[in-house]
Amino acid sequence: MIVFAARVVLGAVFVASGALKVRDAAWPRAARTFGAPAWSVRMLPWVELGLGALVAAQFPFAAVGALALLAAFSWLIVVHLRRGDGVPCACFGSASSARPVSWWHLARNVVLAGLAVVALL
């Protein structure tokens, strides 16, 4: 039951994140400012949607992709925190672009990474 719940919650977070980015015309610029490679900006929301749907549908292998994305996002968050850049995360499109990255974003990603590990079981 815990593994099922972890997959549903993690999947829902990734689906929400991807969907909010797809609908946000300003997200590509925010992603480039955040440090996302230019080649990844257009496909990232769709990757998040796909991974989220697969994880929520109980395909545990998709949690590996979610874990990899969380690691990359977390690394970029740490880079910006160390520099003191104050760039917005835009992790959920315009719904999250008003605040600059903080340790809260990193803590959230650690929790999500924990869910991804449980989802692999």
Give the pLDDT of residue 2: 96
Q: State how far the Cα of 69 lies from the Cα of 73, in Å rounded to an integer.
A: 6
Can you list the positions of beta strands (E) in the chain? 91-94
Give the pLDDT of residue 94: 79
All residues at 6 or more sequence positions from 85 whose CB lies less than 8 Å from its CB, including other chains: 100, 101
Q: pTM for this one?
A: 0.92
- The stretches in the chain having pLDDT less than 70 are none
SS3 at position 23: coil
Q: State how far the Cα of 47 lies from the Cα of 112, in Å rounded to an integer.
A: 17
Give the pLDDT of residue 18: 95
Give the pLDDT of residue 90: 84
Give the pLDDT of residue 83: 93
Burial of 35 (0-12, 13-18, 19+ CB in 10 A): middle
